Amino acid sequence: MVRVQLAAVCALVAAAVPSVAPAQSAPASFNYYTPPKLIKKGTATSPIGGAGTVVIKVLVNKDGTFKVQGVIHSSNAADDKAALEIAASSTYKPATRGSSKETAFYDFTLKFAGNGTSTTDEDLPEIEQYRRMMVAGNEAGAKTALQNYLGQHPEDAKAELYLAIADTRLNDSKDAVAALEKAGPVPEEYRAEAAKAYADAAIDAVSAKDTANAAVLARKAVDLSGTFDKYLVLGYVELAGGQLAPGTEALEKARDLAKTENATPKQQTAIYVNLVQAYARDGDFAKAKSAADTARQLDPSTNVDVVLEQAYISRGNVLQNGGKLAEAGALFEQAAAELPKSAGPLYARAALAYLAIKPDASVAAGKDPNIVKADADADKALAADPNNAAANYAKGIAVVDLDKSKSSTALDYLKKADDQAKKAGDTGLTAAIENAIKQLNGGK
């Protein structure tokens, strides 16, 4: 009896992880940057139009001269003319880096009250000026200013918080998390943004294969804002770290919250696709199939079929490696029935699993039930794809194992399989096929 070499059809791909260069120490001395400042606020002859905030961009040259560039942001256009006049009649201190003066932009924020008065950022504590910069949409400028401020005031927790929020809005999750770890308790108004920073950092950690840290970051995101999307990230990173039970629990929580938090169909689909993987890894393919069905209903363009197929194959390989070949064959048959577009290769896998089972010596020649199953599955695989190398290989083995007189027919299938495997560059399968051909030819 010709036996199948399962190792020939299983390939493991190792992903190389790039090495990370060690961080370099900061220089002993640093030329701190100080942005331009207002020396004296000017006046306006135009009337103030009412309550509102206007941000004016001013280019302050290193010699103290300046040019008003225009309005960056305004909540009340009726105040714009007065704001421009105040900016144009003010005086400014140029930016410095260490002891050298530099030309730089100054965001001049004027807040007008209904009684005709105005205040500026310079009327506020320095740290609040940087918050105002973020309110005006200048997160990059605020980040630079806050980094310089923290160089001189390293224990200022509020500055760390504002820096974290600026980094979050600039999509720099790594720096945002570093600042949040120094900022202490996060006020309610910033908890959602802080949670986003931790969630984004958790996903980045998974990509870097640091699943333990990813889970810590994801839990902090959930603690700050227990919304469906944060639970989705937690479930994803827990699964990536091999924590099946807590990962599944988090994903089910995300699924339930998504229904009440008006998640979009695509957002809900992402949850169900992850649940497919979780249920399949636990061996519960009834739940996996149900989750896949829901994902397709929510988003017909989803790739959930690919995810489900990979889950079936992964679980089947685990069963095969554990010696549970009949269970593996049955699972691959189930997968083929569930995923008709992939039926060919899945039935071929089922056939090979059955063929690898040790024959029962008490069964009459040509009647081994596992060989019969393999032959039937090989036929189904070839019906779906006549040029499938593994299917032709399985069919050739099954034919001769069921009837020794049909070695010529078996060789036809094996030779076809050999040509197809070589064309595909599948060296493992090619070796197994040629070994079988050699056996049928009497070892020649």
Q: How far is CA 53 from the centre of its chain?
A: 39
Question: What average pLDDT does the structure give for the chain?
Answer: 87
CA 37 – CA 91 distance, rounded (Å): 9
- Average pLDDT (17-34) is 40
From 31-45, 111-125, 336-350, the region with the lowest mean pLDDT = 111-125
Task: Tell me whether residue 344 is in a domain.
Answer: yes
48-72 burial, b for 16+ CB within 10 Å, e for fewer? bbeebbbbbbbebbeeeebebeebb
Residue keyed to tokens 């000017």: 42
Q: Last residue of some domain: 123, 149, 172?
A: 123
Residue 133 has pLDDT above 50, yes or no: yes
Task: Tell me whether residue 187 is in a domain.
Answer: no
Q: Would you report the helix, strand and coil content of the chain in percent, each value rounded to 5?
A: 60, 10, 30
CATH label of the domain that carries residue 415: 1.25.40.10
Task: Tell me whether residue 213 is in a domain.
Answer: no
Q: Dig out the tokens for 408 from the structure.
A: 């010529």
Q: Last residue of some domain: 81, 100, 123?
A: 123
Task: Tell me whether residue 251 is in a domain.
Answer: no
* Domain ranges, residue 90: 32-123
Q: Which of 63, 111, 96, 9 is nearest to 345 (CA)?
A: 9
Residue 32 has pLDDT above 70, yes or no: no
- Average pLDDT (131-154) is 88
- If pLDDT is split at 50, 70 and 90, which confidence band does 27 have? very low
Question: How confident is the model over 399-441, as pLDDT tens digits?
Answer: 998 888 899 999 999 999 999 999 999 999 999 999 989 988 8
Task: Tell me whether residue 85 is in a domain.
Answer: yes
Task: Tell me whether residue 26 is in a domain.
Answer: no
Helix residue ranges, H only, 115-210: 126-135, 139-152, 157-169, 173-183, 191-207
Q: Which of 153, 185, 183 is nearest to 166 (CA)?
A: 183
Q: Which of 4, 1, 2 is nearest to 432 (CA)?
A: 4
Task: Please tell me the predicted confidence (pLDDT) of residue 29.
Answer: 38
Task: Tell me whether residue 27 is in a domain.
Answer: no
- Average pLDDT (202-214) is 95
Question: How confident is the model over 261-274, as pLDDT tens digits?
Answer: 989 999 999 999 99
Provide the number of structural domains found in the chain.
2
Residue 15 has pLDDT above 90, yes or no: no
Q: Last residue of some domain: 123, 144, 159?
A: 123
Phi first, then psi, for residue 108 (nearest 5°) are -90, 105
Task: Please tell me the predicted confidence (pLDDT) of residue 443.
Answer: 66
- Average pLDDT (110-132) is 73
Give the CA distances from residue 285 to residues 111, 139, 239, 315, 402, in Å, rounded to whole numbers and listed in that order: 61, 48, 17, 10, 32
Q: Which of 40, 42, 92, 87 is nearest to 62 (CA)?
A: 92
Question: How confident is the model over 146-197, as pLDDT tens digits?
Answer: 999 898 889 999 999 999 999 999 999 999 999 999 999 999 999 999 999 9
Task: Please tell me the predicted confidence (pLDDT) of residue 137.
Answer: 84
Q: Which of 290, 307, 222 is nearest to 257 (CA)?
A: 222
Task: Tell me whether residue 44 is in a domain.
Answer: yes
